[in-house]
Amino acid sequence: MLEATLRRQINDDTLTTLSKSTFESKNVVKKSEGDDSKAFTTAESAVLPTPNRTATLPAEIYPLSLFYSEFILQSYGKIAQDFFKENNEMAKLTALGIPKLVAQVAGKVMHDQKSEKECYLVLKLIIMSIFVQQMSTNKKSLIASEFDNFPSPIFHAIREEFFRDKLKTNSRWGYTQMERDRFIAWFLCLFLILNDFRVAITPLASQLHLSENQSGKTLSALGCVVSSATVEESKRYDTMRMARLIEPPTEKKLRKRKRGGG
């Protein structure tokens, strides 16, 4: 665990600045009652990351710059590197409550001298996975103490990026359905990028306590082709369905997501 002094090195003013940075969505809108899926009518909605519609390769669809800025790296890159120097084994990561599939992605930065950017992005994915787990078990609010195993400055930066509600005196905060949908969509997008543009839907949904059907719909809205796993994939990943990011999302896929298609 990082030293407390390291956890406190980013002050409240810095966090306020972060909430106004390029991470923050410029398209936040209120959820229309009784119609949670309206946000999926276009890829530039308040929920989905904005894709590069002219991309010809999976790596070009969602640039990594969606998930960091130079200011972010200067503030948190070294903290992320130090986290993986201390937590440099799979067993240590899973002992922190990190889902196995996410810990496997983290394995790519544990044993080599990876850049601060790579370490930050993987640590962001890890902390986001804990958020997703908590939202699945705590339907109305989240509590900061669930993130004590992770660098506090990065936790607070992620919280302020995705949630409007302020921390209350009991260290809890609430969230809306749209905030939850947006968070999960951005988590799945980052997971795709860091996991060779594919997701084994069954184990990921199970480990993060998500609906497999809903996860498939969100991945489809992100542009993935969702299909039954091959025999080899089923054995290798213990999954019934796979999602692969091949091309930017189309209006057809988004309309299908709006209607509730899988």
C-alpha to C-alpha distance for 216 and 100, rounded to whole angstroms: 19
- pLDDT bin (cut points 50, 70, 90) of residue 26 is very low
C-alpha to C-alpha distance for 166 and 179, rounded to whole angstroms: 14
Residue 138's pLDDT is 73
- Provide the mean pLDDT of the chain: 82
Residue 11's pLDDT is 42
User: Do the Cβ atoms of 255 and 218 come closer than 8 Å?
Assistant: no
| Side chain identity at residue 74, one-letter code | Q
C-alpha to C-alpha distance for 178 and 111, rounded to whole angstroms: 37
C-alpha to C-alpha distance for 182 and 129, rounded to whole angstroms: 13
- pLDDT bin (cut points 50, 70, 90) of residue 114 is confident
User: pTM above 0.85?
Assistant: no
> Nearest CA to 39 among 220, 183, 215, 178?
178
Q: Percentage of residues in the chain with pLDDT exceeding 90?
A: 68
Using alpha carbons, list the distances in angstroms from residue 202 to 65, 105, 160, 180, 253. Answer: 28, 16, 30, 20, 21
| Side chain identity at residue 142, one-letter code | L
Main-chain phi, psi angles of 143, to 5 degrees: -130, 135
